Amino acid sequence: MKKRTSFLIHIGALVVILVGILFLISDSSHIFKAPGYDATAPTDTKMAQLARWIPAGADFFVAADVPKALANQELAASLTRVAEGRSGVVADLISALMEEPGSIGLLCVLGRLGEMRSRSEIALLAQGGFDEETLLPAVRSAMSAGHSGVAAQNLEWTTIYTESDSRDPFGFMFLDGTHLAAGDRASLLAMYEKKPEPTKVQMVAKDQTIVGYIAIGERLRRSAPEEMYLPDAAYITSPDGTLVTVRIPCDDDEKAQSVMMLLEGIRSLMTIQQEPKGDGGLGAVLGGMTMKATDGDVVIEAKLASLIDLWVGGEGKTPPQSPQAPEGR
């Protein structure tokens, strides 16, 4: 259980770090604001474009509409606290994001979990009006200032740029005029060495600030009892960036109750593990979640700001109040 919790926390931490590095290089808005891209377009319109670059076999993706997210004062304040609690790349990155909220339309973390003993592949997609001729010199300048060089490797359809003096280098690549992928070199090559074929992506993106999908694949199924029913997927939505809803469709009410009992057991165990630490942190987030089985679905809700606050530090925090879940589907 501790390994699973650590894995999820590391995914979140990676998102924060990658976002920081990406926006650290955006020292002026003209780098991103190429003609023809509207960062304020409807979320479902932007997601329909980004879906082209979610590779087949992705086990999860979570995308955020950046202008909508930063319009939420509570969410923006949480991001500010993340920056204030750190120094260096992450702080500079989030500060730059706050200063140029119209530069990027979507940010999406996606990946493949792989088999039980294999390495997970995780990358960040950013959608904006990227100007490669302007962006590349800015990247080289930023990396040089940090005493890191840039190496370029030509692929059949694009070029991957990575740190030249690291054993596990961070890198990025242009997918087209409006999409950029960032992450560690191994993950980028695993997902984008060959140009991915367009695939159909399951999503509920209309009027949402956060949208995502998690496939319940073999790696997750092997963590549950063999006789336990598990659904095929979970869907993540947040219309306003305040509450995040995870909806897990099940075949019927009985199976939904079974899944909810499993999740409640996991939450109880994780809560017990957090109690000796005596702070808010993950324990506060777990305590602030609501779970219910309704109409054959399991519905989980949590405050997004509380999840972000996991990376601020738990000192002096009080557990968030449990949100009231809406009735019905």
Confidence bin at 47 (pLDDT 50/70/90): very high
The structure tokens listed for 23 are 């926006």
In the chain, the DSSP E strands lie at 60-65, 104-112, 121-128, 150-154, 159-163, 170-176, 179-184, 210-215, 233-238, 243-249, 290-294, 297-303
Selection from 169, 187, 167 nearest residue 123 by Cα: 187
Inform me whether the pLDDT recorded for 300 exceeds 80.
yes
Q: Which pLDDT tens digit goes with each residue over 303-315?
A: 887 777 765 554 3
Q: Which pLDDT tens digit goes with each residue over 92-120?
A: 444 544 555 567 788 888 998 876 667 88
Quote the pLDDT of residue 43.
Answer: 92
Confidence bin at 326 (pLDDT 50/70/90): very low
Inform me whether the pLDDT recorded for 322 exceeds 90.
no
Cα(106)–Cα(66) distance, integer angstroms: 6
Selection from 303, 298, 296 nearest residue 241 by Cα: 303
Q: Which pLDDT tens digit goes with each residue over 182-228?
A: 888 899 999 999 999 887 777 777 889 989 999 988 777 777 777 78
Quote the pLDDT of residue 71.
Answer: 85
Quote the pLDDT of residue 170.
Answer: 76
Quote the pLDDT of residue 319.
Answer: 36
DSSP 264-312: HHHHHHHHHHHGGG-SSHHHHHHHH-EEEEETTEEEEEEEHHHHHGGGT
Identify the helix (H) or strand (E) that includes residue 92. Answer: helix 89-99
Kindly report which listed range (33-42, 155-164, 319-328) carries the lowest average pLDDT score.
Answer: 319-328
Full-model pTM: 0.77
* More confident position, 130 or 8: 130
Cα(11)–Cα(36) distance, integer angstroms: 32
Q: Which pLDDT tens digit goes with each residue over 228-259?
A: 888 999 999 999 888 999 999 998 999 999 99
